[in-house]
Amino acid sequence: FRTIDVEEAYSGARIEGDKITLEFVKTMMEDFKNQKKLHKRYAFQILHEVKELLAPLPTLVNVNVPNDTHITICGDIHGQYFDLMNIFDLNGLPSDENPYLFNGDFVDRGSFSAEVIFTLFAFKCLYNSGMHLSRGNHESKSMNKMYGFHGEVKSKYNESMAEIFSELFCCLPLAHVLNKRIFVVHGGLFSRDGVKLSDIRSIDRFREPPDEGLMCELLWSDPHPGLGRIPSKRGAGVAFGSDVTQKFLEENNLELVVRSHEVKEEGYEEEHGGKLITVFSAPNYCDQMNNKGAFIKFVAPKLKPQFTKFVSVPHPNVRPMAYANNIFSWLS
């Protein structure tokens, strides 16, 4: 990226002296609010830097939340940049003192996905322990080609940048554990008993999500209110019951599963007798679902979930899926 010159006429956010600063990120967020694009030089610089932070991470990341501090968990954002800005208005900007964990599905569907992911990645570069990112099933090349992110990046930036995003998504961790007690993952649990945290840590995540196995199920599974396992309506992952959640928690000495991946009318839902929480942070999803968004704040040492619900905010007149290039994806 250092070989890309920045024209005099460029009036947008600039990274001075090779260091990403809070001032740069704030200016970039303002530019994005005004539908301005980040200069390719700085865009490639963020992607280069964040790869160096993501690639060395373990596939299962242990996050420590010291006593009397907190962490905020957000679910699917799906390119709804103006609702992401609203979350930061409600709950403060990310920082080492106000850390966030975004639990996958940052992109696709909403037509401001590039702005969402550049903002999340820039905060990761700025405050490494203030921004944690889990992979969702939409952080994948096949989904991005069908549901808009690939087309959006090609349209706003270029094809090579779209390829770099696909590479970067393969570096994202697949799950996090807060204080060795709360398991956070985008999709859910498994088609077999006996999965240990060490099995998850051992997954080779540097690939597109497979159609079956632990990595697929972490990104695709859904809870169901009954017992046992039934086939998933999505054709990937499994629908797992409250006994499956209970057994997984017991076998791994955990207290709670927090996952996302499903729209919820109130933005969140406590299921499986309170042992599993779904949190979804894209309000009025696709400009049509009329759902609320939510985020969860956990304060140590109790780590009792504190829910905040919120409604959607206005956004510029660009419809969801505006960059999807597959007519069938407009029909779904």
Ligand X SMILES: O=C(O)c1nn[nH]c1-c1ccccc1
Question: What residues make contact with ligand X under the rule CB under 6 A?
Answer: 105, 108-109, 137-138, 147, 234, 261
Phi, psi angles (nearest 5°) of residue 72: -110, 125
User: Is 138 a residue of the active site?
Assistant: yes
Token couple for 142: 């096949």
Q: Which does 190 bind (CB under 5 to 8 A by kind): ligand X, Mn ion, none?
A: none
Q: Which helix (H) or strand (E) element contains residue 239?
A: strand 238-240
Contact 57, 175 (CB under 8 A): no
Cβ proximity to ligand X: between 162 and 282 the closer is: 282
Q: Is the dihedral of CA 130, 132, 138, 141 positive or negative?
A: positive
CB of 108 to ligand X, least distance (A): 6
CB of 270 to ligand X, least distance (A): 20
For binding to Mn ion (CB under 5 A), which residues are involved? 76, 105, 136-137, 261
Cβ proximity to Mn ion: between 45 and 103 the closer is: 103
CB of 120 to ligand X, least distance (A): 17
Cβ proximity to Mn ion: between 44 and 147 the closer is: 147
Q: Is the dihedral of CA 315, 169, 207, 221 positive or negative?
A: negative
Q: Of 257, 212, 247, whose CA–CA distance to 231 is shortest?
A: 212
Cβ proximity to ligand X: between 99 and 188 the closer is: 188
Please tell me which residue in 138, 150, 176, 224 is annotated as part of the active site: 138
Q: Which does 109 bind (CB under 5 to 8 A by kind): ligand X, Mn ion, none?
A: ligand X
Phi, psi angles (nearest 5°) of residue 206: -85, 70
Helix (H, G, I), strand (E, B) or coil at 277: strand
CB of 36 to ligand X, least distance (A): 27
CB of 218 to Mn ion, least distance (A): 11
Token couple for 302: 């109790």
Cβ proximity to Mn ion: between 31 and 269 the closer is: 269
Widest distance between CA atoms in the chain = 63
Which of left, alpha, beta for 263 (phi over 0: left; psi -120 to 50: alpha)?
A: beta
Helix (H, G, I), strand (E, B) or coil at 131: strand
Token couple for 8: 């005099």
The whole-angstrom separation of Cα 131 and Cα 102 is 8
Catalytic residues: 138
